[in-house]
Amino acid sequence: MSYTSDFGNLDFDIGIETLERVIIKSEKRMHIDLGVPRENTRDEMRVSLAPSGVKIMVEQGHSVCVEKDAGLHCNFSNENYANAGATIVDSTDEVFQRSNVIVKVAPPLPKEYDSLQRNQVLISALHLGSIRSDLIEILLKRSITGLAFEFIETRDGEFPIVRSLSEIAGALAIQIAAKYLETGNGGRGILLGGIAGVPPANVVIIGAGTVGQYAAQAALGLGAHVTVIDKELNRLRKFETIFNRRITSAIANDHYIAKAAKIADVMIGALNPRAKIMKPLVKEELILGMRKGAVIIDVSIDQTTCFETSCKTSHTNPVYVKHGITHYCVPNIPSAVARTASYALTNALIPFLTKLGEYANISDALWKSTSLRNGTYAYKGYLTKKILSDISGLSYREVQMLLATDI
């Protein structure tokens, strides 16, 4: 059994940490040379750290290196970063070479693999639904410590980085739905909130998590009729309370999903797989029975698929029509509002980056910080998450055991 204690900023698992390691506390602090490269993933407009975040890191005594034009799509100029205290460099390769910690939005692409340095710390999204086995192999080969947005969990069970981006995705999903319901975009030609004498659109949200909450809030704000479907009754009870019973709720079974699909003008997939890759909840036969011109938005597409007809799209070509239904399946939805999303990401990341700088080294940080340890998926040549082992076929070891044995 594992128990958790707090001694100031020190948190540890009594079942793992030895008495000697608790008593011997180094005053040494790690100097972070933080690298912020420009994102090379297609249609990724965000940057991992806004100038405001750079300023905080520099004020804490760390160095920040930013690739030229990294914030261009967010309207953050090179001058903004330089004024915040960053060093501006010309290439991705130079950012990686000068940094011991790299923070990115998307995971590295194959053309960036050669830039990765041995024993570096990489903090980014992992995108479990499309993770590359060659990326995992190169991280293990170079003993890179990998921390993923999807895994960074605080001791109260919150996923602060994922939540921050999910809030944006949920609200934006309704904005997108309203657009593609318009006649000129091939939709049913209806106003999401209706008007006096004309009923509103029916919005069905599958998943009562953060995305679902903010989608429901935005849809209700526009006057739509909202149905939320989830497998967990307690989540639905919470939604009923949050929205003062202004939504309709239903358990996620075949009967209710089929019933909802028949009347839906908009269906939003807001699943959060966390522990495993899930199978689509909405089968193709149900989509065949939906109203022509209806809109499907699969926010879950970066991890899994909610609809059997979902295929990934991009911001350049965001939609396709199948069975008369418009499908929007862009994995990085928040990138459509890159400046807002980058500020949100910065606000969520900064506490973890500054926490990292409180410790002597990365091993010390992982040993003493529950949230950083939870976020780790690769450490000293080993995978540390079972879900990645299942996907890649590679073996894994619990990070606690690796830390405890000083491997």
Distance of alpha carbon 177 from alpha carbon 306, whole angstroms: 16
Angle (deg, nearest 10), helices 338-356 and 51-59: 20
CA-nearest of 372, 364, 350 to 29 is 364
C-beta of residue 165 within 8 angstroms of C-beta of residue 336: no
Q: What are 269's strand-pairing partners?
A: 206, 298
Instruction: Return the number of other C-beta atoms located less than 10 Å from residue 356's C-beta.
Output: 24
Buried b (16+ CB within 10 A) or exposed e, 58-92: eeeebbbbbbbebbebbebebebbeebbbeebeeb
**Summary count for the chain: helices (H), strands (E):** 15, 17
Strands, E assignment, 126-257:
145-148, 202-206, 225-230, 248-251
Catalytic residue chosen out of the listed positions 62, 127, 225, 327: 127
Query: Is 327 one of the annotated active-site residues of the chain?
Result: no
Q: Which of 43, 230, 298, 302 is catalytic?
A: 302
* CA distance readout (Å), 50 to 63, 322, 341, 345, 348: 15, 39, 10, 9, 11
Owner of token pair 């029916």: 202
**Contact in structure between 254 and 262 (CB atoms under 8 Å):** no
Q: Is 323 in the active site?
A: no
E-strand ranges in 254-385 read 266-269, 295-298, 319-322, 325-328, 376-379, 382-383
Q: C-alpha dihedral over 202, 205, 206, 208, to 10 degrees?
A: -140
Instruction: List residues with catalytic annotation.
Output: 127, 302
